[in-house]
Amino acid sequence: MKKIFVFSVSFLALLAVATLTLKASGNHNYDFSSDGRLVRVVNPSTAVTRAPELGSKYTLIAGNISSYPQALYFSIFGNTIAQGGANYPFQTWVANPFTPAADATVVAVQVAVGRLGSGTSGFEVGLYNNASGVPGTLIKSVHIPGSKVSTYGECCALDTASFSGGVPVTGGTQYWVAVTTTSEDTDIYGWNFNTTNMTALPSASWCSGSTTYCGTSSGTWVPYSYTQLGFRVVGN
């Protein structure tokens, strides 16, 4: 059954505030969807940043980063990542699952996240256990400073969360990669969709705010199916 969402004038007004906040800083390059969960680039950048290679030291455990050098991921469209508060009307996060084919040790998780605006507070990249089809307990999380994040709409840098000492994962067991925020992560980011497999696959979203923004699911992970976001889980 198709879901129909009705948004109040106050919601749209607050969403406009987020857009105006960016434009007030001189940034006119982003448009949000009516529900605030998606963000697209109006004028894509011509700059291309080379993504980090795995090299012989690391192995790919899971992920969907393309091998095409100028389309490692969909750099002009993705999900909004925001803490909420003064810069955004609600808190919004997203997570993608993966299942390693064999036992491995995760040494890093790379995500295709870009920075909207000039803020540098950053965000969190977390590895989670599975809990009935959504992220469960947090295994490990790493803060990514915004100063190290490329501008949303530029291809094709990856943000690397290095897990010191490594995190063992079990083959055939589902885990989750999530991009989240803390109270200190006050800026707005966009997590780009992947270009390897754009069919609808399992994902999970988090919304924290009033019923105007989150309905009756505030403060919980909610499963859904859509094109997954660009990420790579690396081991050794």
Tens digit of pLDDT for each residue in 119-162? 889 999 999 999 999 999 999 999 999 999 999 999 889 999 99
pTM of the model: 0.87
Contact between 75 and 129 under an 8 Å Cβ cutoff? The reply is: no
Helix, strand or coil for residue 74? strand
- Positions of the chain with pLDDT lower than 50, given as ranges: 1-15, 17-18, 20-26
80 to each of 43, 89, 107, 236, how far by Cα in Å?
17, 12, 26, 31
Strands 201-208 and 113-116: unpaired
For 209-230, how does the pLDDT look when each residue is reduced to its tens digit (9 = 90+)? 999 889 999 999 999 999 999 9
